[in-house]
Structure 1
Amino acid sequence: MNQPTHTRIRMFNTRDTYPNQALNNDLCQAVRAGNTVYVRGQVGTDFDGNLIGLGDPRAQAEQAMKNIKQLLEEAGSDLSHIVKTTTYLIDPRYREPVYQEVGKWLKGVFPISTGLVVSALGQPQWLVEIDVIAVIPDNWKREQA
């Protein structure tokens, strides 16, 4: 019997997460493929759909990092195993507060990083979106907090 090559974490349909848009896409928040974890772009919205930090890019980055931490742990990894981050900002003036916040979460990790300024994100209230790729080292077991 073939084993699945990947695990989908927190599956959802966009009609539920974007009720103001006519969408119907089946997606998930993260995918573990072998020892690699891909995390969907995270914003300042918690997993219950509540926006944290309206108008505050630092607070939205903090919530995005909380989401990333949780998703990586659900996938069997953690923040220390992030190898790449991509940060999307809708205003270059948000760079300092966002990167200062992300830096708190990734102190000592040293991932590669790409930062982009874009004209808009998926909802008008979103100021920042962060996605990551992480690994799960062979024979590594996450310490339980």
Structure 2
Amino acid sequence: MEKQIINTTNAPAPIGPYNQAVKAGSTLFISGQIALNPESGKLETDDVIVETHRVMQNLRNILSEAGMDFSDVVKSTIFITDMNDFSQINEVYGKYFSGYFPARETVQVAALPKGVNVEISMIAIK
């Protein structure tokens, strides 16, 4: 099976020893994305709605680089630091999908990189 590294300047550069995504065959594994603006390099964490939109935009840009979109996503994992933010995050997340939603879990964690409130990873298949 062929493995291809996917990186785009339209999403934040990795902050550690990993890639934005790896495509193995027809399956794309996207690393967890946070609300880092790839153009300014600044976090967009004014509120959890703005933050979630930035995360989803970063994910969309990685999907696009791989020739995919949200309709190809089969699995998402959402990590949040406060389950009280779940409904707002869920509302924003849902706006990026039409038709069928992927399988998903949402997990509350003690902390996330750079002190963000939400991180989302995805698996997509074309």
State the secondary structure of the residue aligned to 2:100: coil
Aligned pairs for 1:1-145 (under 5 A) are: 5-10=2-7, 25-48=16-39, 49-54=41-46, 56-124=47-115, 126-136=116-126
Higher RCO by CA contacts (8 Å cutoff, separation 6 or greater): 2
Instruction: Count how many residue pairs are aligned between Structure 1 and Structure 2.
Output: 121
Q: How big is the alpha-carbon RMSD for the aligned residues of Structure 1 and Structure 2?
A: 1.8
Structure 1: which 4+ aligned runs deviate by more than 3 Å? none
Deviations 1:109-128 (A, max 9, x none): 3210110000000112x000
Output the TM-score relative to the length of structure 2: 0.88
Q: Hey, what's the Cα distance between the residues in 1 that align with 2:99 and 2:61? A: 19
Of all paired residues, the percent bearing the same amino acid is: 31
Contact 2:14–2:20 (CA<8 Å) still a contact in 1? no
Deviations 1:27-80 (A, max 9, x none): 2111111100011111111223221133x1111110111011110110111111
Larger radius of gyration: 1
Output the TM-score relative to the length of structure 1: 0.77
Contact 2:7–2:65 (CA<8 Å) still a contact in 1? no
In structure 1, list runs of 5 or more residues that go unmatched: 19-24, 137-145
Contact 1:82–1:109 (CA<8 Å) still a contact in 2? no
